[in-house]
Structure 1
Amino acid sequence: MASAVAAAYQNSSSSPEWLNKGDNAWQMTSATLVGLQSMPGLVILYGSIVKKKWAINSAFMALYAFAAVWLCWVTWAYNMSFGDKLLPFWGKARPALDQKFLIAQSTLPASTHYYRGGQAVETPMVAPFYPAASMVYFQCVFAAITVILLAGSLLGRMSFLAWMAFVPLWITFSYTIGAFSIWGGGFLFQWGVIDYSGGYVIHVSSGIAGITAAYWVGPRSQADRERFPPNNVLLLLAGAGLLWMGWTGFNGGDPYSANIDSSMAVLNTHVCAATSLLMWTVLDVIVFGKPSVIGAIQGMITGLVCITPGAGVVQGWAAIVMGVLSGSVPWFTMNVIHRHWSLLQAIDDTLGVFHTHAVAGVLGGISTGLFAEQTLCNLFLPVTNSHGAVYGGVGGSQLGKQIAGALFIIGWNVVVTSIICLVIKLVVPLRIPDDQLLIGDDAVHGEEAYALWGDGEKLDTTRSGEDNTEHSAFAVGVTQNV
């Protein structure tokens, strides 16, 4: 037994020569941090930021999506995102379940980059020094959090049956397109669009798909739109904290290695998020006269989103500049433009995902086109000698690539998300019936989030009159104390 255990730590079949245990450990750790952002991070955040009557439904939407994506991912979606090329924007669907595939060295077969489309190799195929199982795990939690972020636009009124159908359809026909096009070796990858860790693939797609789906699903009840206070701000902060610290793996894991670029990405991530949170809070104080916890969380999120496309390719000073931008531009679109633009007013984007993810994601992509630094780009990008516009030379073309990449993601998600919603609508209603909207969780799931005294409880009439008198007196006392 001892010799068998020892063999596992030697250069045996379980530790082949190509395996770098440090990279593998960091990749699985990063994946777990990203997974914790969704479960329990966004489950807690969604369950806390909504009105009490929607706490169960909102948390359950995130929980269901996290589970459903796993099966889609290993059955067909992983290879559609990172496998052999089928089309310039899509990989070939096949399972990622066979042990021969999972224990072999991870490769992204479509990622070989050639000089200007010729035959000479500029950058070899991406082949991290760990097994495919680690890559499948890492990329799955990214796919899961994308559709969960999208759900933030739909809280408080989408039919759960419709959501159950929406998740696998959207992952299959929208997410895999963006992932393959930009990360997996598709045409935007080959062209040199920079999306370090998902500013476009995850955040722009979730923000645009979210507001598009919100249009087709329809609004919440009028009462909910007028007043929708969070039911637990402290738990909301706990969920936000998991989201922030989980971003260490979100951006730190995307070089596919525990290298110096990973360290730069982690540091820039937290610097930008902190700057953005402070900027948003200052604007809240200046304009509204008081700091808001929810506003600070929104500023935190926009900072994390904005730095994501450029986390490992911009310098520290640029991370601060991006934080200032992400704490002010989305603040302006949410608090000024949204209130004066009738189209945005008509669409009920529950958590403002369009502003916190789509606007911040596009802002981050464009900022990356401005501030990407050549030395850092060469540590990460398949297109060598890339850099942003502020460094002159070919930087202007990089900015153009960033804008074009954003437009592709926006256009694809508007069209495909609309088609998915219309197809689902042929089978089941997209929106919860009005009578259930008035009640919330109890009507939809038969469950309530908090068992507060006298809230949904029925008086036990089988007890003695004396006991019932005491029970009633106690209830009156609680009411008076409150």
Structure 2
Amino acid sequence: MAANFTTPWLDTGDNAWQLTAASLVALQSVPGLVVLYAGIMRSKWAINSAFMAFYGFAATLITWVLWAYKMGFGIYMLPFVGRPGPVVTMAQELEQSCLPSAALCQNFPLSTMVYFQFVFAAITIVIMAGAFLGRMNFHAWMIFVPLWITFSYTIGAYSLWGGGFLFQRGVIDYSGGYVIHISSGTAGFVGAHWIGPRLAADREDSRPNNILCVLIGAGILWIGWNGFNGGDPYAASADAGAAVLNTNVATAMSLLCWTICDMIYYKKPSVLGAVQGMVTGLVAITPAAGVVAGWGAICIGFASGTIPWLSMNIMGKKVAYFRKIDDTLGVFHTHMVAGFVGGMCVGLFATVEGCAAFGLTNPGGAIEGNGKQVYLQLYGALFVIAWNMVWTSLIMCFIKYVLRIPLRMSEAELLAGDDAIHGEAAYVLGPCEAHEHLLAGHYIKRSETGPGELGMGGAIIGHDPHAGAAHEKSATGNGTGSSEIKHD
């Protein structure tokens, strides 16, 4: 039996919390967003949407341990990126975690830090995928993921967290409002421009195939955010507790505000709207979670439940350019806009006590008399936006024009969906060839529903037992063909 291996720098409580927080964040991607994406898309895209997230998670991890972690958190190479290199030896995995460019060390091993930072990189890719669902060529996606992690994500991570120039200037991004959400929202919108839109029929009829799955995924996302924000002090500290509480307060406030906006404007409370409000609350509190007070979290929740709502429901539907760009799940509004709102709220509401508890020397935000913090937050946001606009475009153009790999699926694949791309269907309900098209998400409108058939939400679900013998005969193929199914 091996002897116990102890080290003077290891705090088992901090290590346990950090691994728990990392696992909570990992669960946000798989299964959280995997399930959410599978449910929120038409059933013909359920497999492809879930698999894009699943693949992105795996590809990011290999990229991360082979070279990308050190680009984001390693030794200085440039003011915005560290030297690339692998973290794959046992000696590296067992040594103490340190961020050399930030002159910070943690009381847990490097392996814990590598995994913790990986799950943040992975969820950034998975969030971005939400803008590309329903038409991006999977082969292009396979190449895009490692390239974007390498040339875009690591830059924001090093600049803000790894000791880069934004970190040195005092820009605050507590847990990823800039590194994760502004970057994924910007890159998603720019990428959607280069890929092109979905089929017109898919954009017009974009009803979710399973809203309960959406709620399951959303619930995992919400609770998983306790690790997302609670893990960023790198310790089981008092500030971690404050970050968790503030995260939930802001999220609840945002959900309520979004729901009220829906009721005022659309006259109905929407479940999907509530999910959007939940997401924007989570996103907006992320850059601020442990440096603002509870009342600041409420203010952020109010801002995130109203400003992104206006962005999505007014600007997104009335401004021609936003209607033209097919951002499938509105990632620009829920992540870029909400992340920007949260980042600016840090400049306004950060407290001296919160900054000190997080280990920062910043003298709070504007409420503490430090109006300069607002400028610093704006400066950091604009850098992340500009970098992602340029490099997402360069990567997309490289894949399309240099590698000659189409960014968008063929028309045949767009019509068929999952079966043509993966040879699999999300829902196999039985050997009913007459209704096989429903498994691919080709819904039938009520006006096209045949006699004696029951319609629900535009999709045929069975035959009316009271339709009479005449239709029963035709439905079994002995009639003149009145049981033929019309496709939309």
Match 1:423 to one of 388, 392, 398: 398
Shift of 1:268: 0.2
Q: Is the partner of 2:99 in helix, strand or coil?
A: coil
**1:452: Cα distance to partner?**
2.3
Aligned to 1:86: 77
Q: Which residue of the partner structure matches residue 31 of structure 2? A: 40
Give the letter aligned to residue 391 of structure 1: E
Q: CA RMSD in A?
A: 1.8
Q: Report the counterpart of residue 422 of structure 2 in structure 1.
A: 445
Match of 1:372 in 2: 350
Deviations 1:111-130 (A, max 9, x none): 0xxxxxxxxxxxxx210100
Q: 1:178 to 1:20 in 2, by over 3 A?
A: same
CA distance in 2, matches of 1:339, 1:187: 38
Q: 2:110 aligns with which of 132, 141, 152?
A: 132
Query: What residue number does 2:63 align with?
Result: 72
- Quick check: 1:479 aligned with 2:438? no
Of 52, 59, 73, the residue aligned with 1:61 is 52
Aligned pairs, how many? 444
Q: Is 1:391 aligned with 2:368? A: yes
Match of 1:86, SS state, is strand
2:295 to 317, 324, 328: 317
- From the superposition, tell whether residues 268 and 458 of structure 1 become closer, same or farther in structure 2 (CA, over 3 Å): closer
Q: How far apart, CA to CA, are the structure 1 residues paired with 2:129 and 2:87?
A: 26
Instruction: Give the alignment partner of residue 384 of structure 2, picking from 387, 409, 413.
Output: 409
Aligned-pair CA distance for 1:266: 0.3
Q: How does 1:5-404 map to 2 (within 5 A)?
A: 7-8=3-4, 14-111=5-102, 125-382=103-360, 384-392=361-369, 395-404=370-379
Provide the C-alpha distance between the structure 1 equivalents of 2:49 and 2:108, rounded to a whole number of angstroms.
36
Q: In 2, distance between residues paired with 1:317 and 1:176?
A: 33
CA shift, 1:101, in A, is 1.5
SS of 2:371's partner is helix
- Distance in 2, matches of 1:356 and 1:456, equals 40
Q: How far apart in 2 are the matches of 1:54 and 1:474?
A: 25
The one-letter amino acid paired with 1:480 is: D
Structure-2 separation of matches of 1:142 and 1:257: 17
1:371, CA displacement in angstroms? 0.2
Q: Secondary structure at the match of 1:127?
A: strand
Which amino acid counterpart does residue 400 of structure 2 have in structure 1?
K
Distance 2:433 2:226 in 1: 42
Q: Kindly state the Cα deviation for residue 256 of structure 1 after the two structures are TM-superposed.
A: 0.3
Rounded Cα–Cα distance in structure 2 between residues aligned with 1:206 and 1:340: 23
Instruction: Give secondary structure in 1 for the equivalent of 2:426.
Output: coil
- Give 3-state SS (helix, strand or coil) of 2:191's partner: helix
- Measured at CA, do residues 61 and 477 of structure 1 come closer, stay the same or move farther in structure 2, by a change above 3 Å? closer
Q: Are 2:398 and 1:432 aligned?
A: no
Any idea what the Cα deviations from partners look like across 1:187-242, whole Å, max 9, x if unmatched? 00000100000000000000000000000000000001111000000011000000
Q: 1:114 is matched with which residue?
A: none
CA distance in 1, matches of 2:71, 2:260: 44
2-structure distance, mates of 1:418, 1:385? 35
Q: How far does residue 45 in structure 1 lie from its aligned partner after superposition?
A: 0.4
TM-fit CA distance, 1:381: 4.2
**For the residues of structure 2 that align with 1:319 and 1:29, how far apart are their CA atoms?**
24
Distance 1:287 1:345 in 2: 19
Worse overlay, 359-368 or 443-452: 443-452
Q: Deviations over 1:233-264 (max 9, x none)?
A: 00110000000000000000000000000000
Shift of 1:385: 3.9
Does the aligned pair in 1 maintain the 2:283–2:339 contact within 8 Å? yes
Query: Which ranges of structure 2 fall in alignment gaps of 5 or more residues?
Result: 437-451, 455-459, 467-488
TM-score norm. by structure 2 comes to: 0.89
Structure 1 distance, partners of 2:358, 2:198, is: 44
For residue 106 of structure 1, give the secondary structure of its aligned residue in structure 2.
strand
Who is 2:480 aligned against? Answer: none
TM-score by length of 1: 0.90
Residues 479, 92 of structure 1: CA spacing in aligned structure 2 closer, same or farther, 3 A cutoff? same
Distance 2:379 2:409 in 1: 37
**What displacement does 1:386 show?**
2.3
Moved over 2 A (4+): 452-459, 473-482
Cα distance, 1:43 vs structure 2: 0.4
1 CA distance for matches of 2:250 and 2:366?
20
CA distance in 1, matches of 2:278, 2:85: 38
Letter in 1 for 2:21: S
In structure 2, distance between residues paired with 1:457 and 1:316: 57
Q: Could you tell me how far 1:479 is from its partner in structure 2?
A: 2.2
Is the Cα–Cα contact under 8 Å of residues 170 and 362 in structure 2 kept in the other structure? no
Q: Pick closer, same or farther for the CA change 1:386–1:474 going to 2, 3 Å.
A: closer
Asked if structure 1 preserves the Cα contact closer than 8 Å seen for 2:80 and 2:159, the reply is yes
CA shift for structure 1 position 41: 0.4
Cα distance change on mapping 1:388 and 1:481 into 2, 3 Å? farther
User: Are residues 179 and 385 of structure 1, via their aligned partners in 2, closer, same or farther at CA, if it must alter by over 3 Å?
Assistant: closer
Alignment gaps of 5+ in structure 1:
9-13, 112-124, 460-472
Sort the Cα spacing of 1:53 and 1:78 in 2 relative to 1 into closer, same or farther, 3 A: same
Q: Answer whether contact 2:61 2:118 (CA < 8 A) is retained.
A: yes
| Partner residue, 1:464 | none
SS at match of 1:249: helix
**8 Å Cα contact 2:68-2:149 kept in structure 1:** yes
> Structure 2 vs 1, CA of residues 285 and 96 (structure 1 numbering), >3 Å: closer, same or farther?
same
Once the two structures are TM-superposed, the CA of residue 186 in structure 1 deviates from its matched residue by 0.2
Q: Secondary structure at the match of 1:130?
A: strand
